[in-house]
A = this chain, B = another copy of it.
Amino acid sequence: MTVLTENTYKPLTNEDAAALVRKLKLIDGHDLAVSEIGDGNLNLVFRVQSSTESIIVKQALPYAKVVGESWPLTLDRARIESEALILAAKYVPDLVPKVLYSDSTLAVTIMEDLSDHSILRKSLIEGTAFSKLAAHIGQFTARTAFYTSDFYLHPFEKKKLVQHFSNPELCKITEDLVFTDPFFDHDTNEFSSALKPDVEKIWNDELLKKEAATLKYQFLTQAEVLLHGDLHTGSIFVTEKSTKVIDPEFAFYGPIGFDLGQFFANIALNYLSQHHHSSEPFNRKETQETLLTVIQETWTVFQNEFTRLVHEESKEVFARTPGVLQNVLEKTFIDSVGFAGCEIIRRTIGLAHVADLDSIPCEDVQLFLKKKALHLGTSLIKSRKSISSIEQFTSIIRGA
């Protein structure tokens, strides 16, 4: 238990985690069972349970491990994660796990246990649909965006938040792995040699790279709203009725469309992966159309909720000038399509793949779908400014 009284960081043991929960009186009962359930790449995740309750103790590790490699990574991300969750809880209390305690020295966040939920990516791979998902993610993105934007906040408060959520190390991961490395012959990339001709097409497509550079520049410079920063389907916990957005350790001030784009991309990747169920074409089509409906409805809910909030709660005097809100929505839409394109490409040939495609057993099918993914990502990035509606966006995915 010494770790809990010292004022320095140390990775917790199961016993430390239980002792901390006991000390904070977060669970009744003395016989606490602890299991470490994290994947060990970035964080320790302890489930601490009594006979009646359970709770999660999450601790950041001072390094990141991906595909065997390990590099140092700031513990400050634990502060960012817990503060982003606490801020989100003000505006979307039902859509984030409840934070019960946080300690920035130990890089620990204690929060409610969501073990009755599943990871969205896993469920989507199994073909499960969630009827509330789109409405929830639309609400999440609209409300966290609006309430951290210049439309709502006093400029002093907004600039304080921009400083507070400055997140250089985690942003650099995105700057490199999403916006840079996949567009060049970089050693972080990962793809089978059979995909090489298609990858080289990307590396040689100067127009594509110019547009990717623009999106990267936006990510680097446009401090519009506080983003989740990593809103893929592995960061979302679901049940049929409930949606919880977790793990906002990449939170920072960036362009509104980024969270939406990452979400759309991961739904689109799952859409593509469904093709491999070729034996049940009818069910497959239905599952796929449901996924496209998720994208459409997410955008529609986002747009409606953001619009409502600007009309009802904006403090920006220009908010009522015709066309101002429309401009922001149009920019957000175009950006989200472009960011989706980058995410689709990097999840196919970059360092961090998605199980949706990589778990497809037949290699030929996998290759075929990855080619489709690269083609889709490329065309979203290049033609984003001429895609004028969410229906047109989903029909491009359908046509991929």
Query: Taking beta carbons and an 8 Å cutoff, which residues of A are in contact with B?
Result: 150, 155-156, 158-160, 162-163, 166, 168-169, 171-172, 175, 180, 183-184, 206-207, 209-210, 212-214, 216-217, 220-224, 317-318, 321-324, 327-328
Contact = CB atoms under 8 A, between A and B. Distances in A.
Task: Kindly name the residue among A168, A183, A223 whose own CB sees the greatest number of chain B CB atoms within 10 A.
Answer: A168
Nearest to A207: B323
B172 A155 contact: yes
A321 B184 CA distance: 11
A156 B168 contact: yes
B323 A210 contact: yes
A328 B163 contact: no
Given A159-B166, A172-B156, A221 B150 contact: yes
Contacts of A168: 155-156, 159-160
Given A150-B217, A209-B324, 20 more contacts: A150-B220, A150-B221, A155-B168, A156-B172, A159-B166, A160-B168, A163-B166, A180-B318, A183-B318, A184-B317, A207-B323, A210-B321, A210-B322, A212-B318, A213-B318, A213-B324, A213-B327, A214-B327, A222-B223, A223-B223
Contact of A223 (B184, B221, B321, B324): B221
Contacts of A321: 206, 209-210, 213
A212 to B, nearest CB: 7
A338 to B, nearest CB: 14
A209 B324 CA distance: 9
Chain A interface helix/strand/loop/mixed: helix
A171 B150 contact: no
Q: This chain: how many copies in the complex?
A: 2
Contacts of A150: 217, 220-221
Contact of A206 (B214, B224, B322): B322
Nearest to A212: B318
A171 B184 contact: no
A324 to B, nearest CB: 5
Nearest to A160: B168
A317 B221 contact: no
13 contacts: A155-B220, A156-B172, A163-B166, A180-B317, A184-B317, A206-B322, A206-B323, A209-B318, A210-B321, A210-B322, A213-B324, A214-B324, A223-B223
A240 B327 CA distance: 46
A192 to B, nearest CB: 25
Contacts of A209: 318, 321, 324
Contacts of A172: 155-156
A166 B155 contact: no
B155 A175 contact: yes
A214 B319 CA distance: 11
A171 to B, nearest CB: 7
Contacts of A169: 156
Contact of A155 (B155, B158, B171, B212): B171
Contacts of A158: 220
B162 A166 contact: yes
Nearest to A220: B150
A222 B220 contact: no
Contacts of A324: 209-210, 213-214
B220 A221 contact: no
A346 to B, nearest CB: 15
Given A180-B317, A206-B322, A318-B212, A217 B171 contact: no
Contacts of A156: 168-169, 172
A132 to B, nearest CB: 32
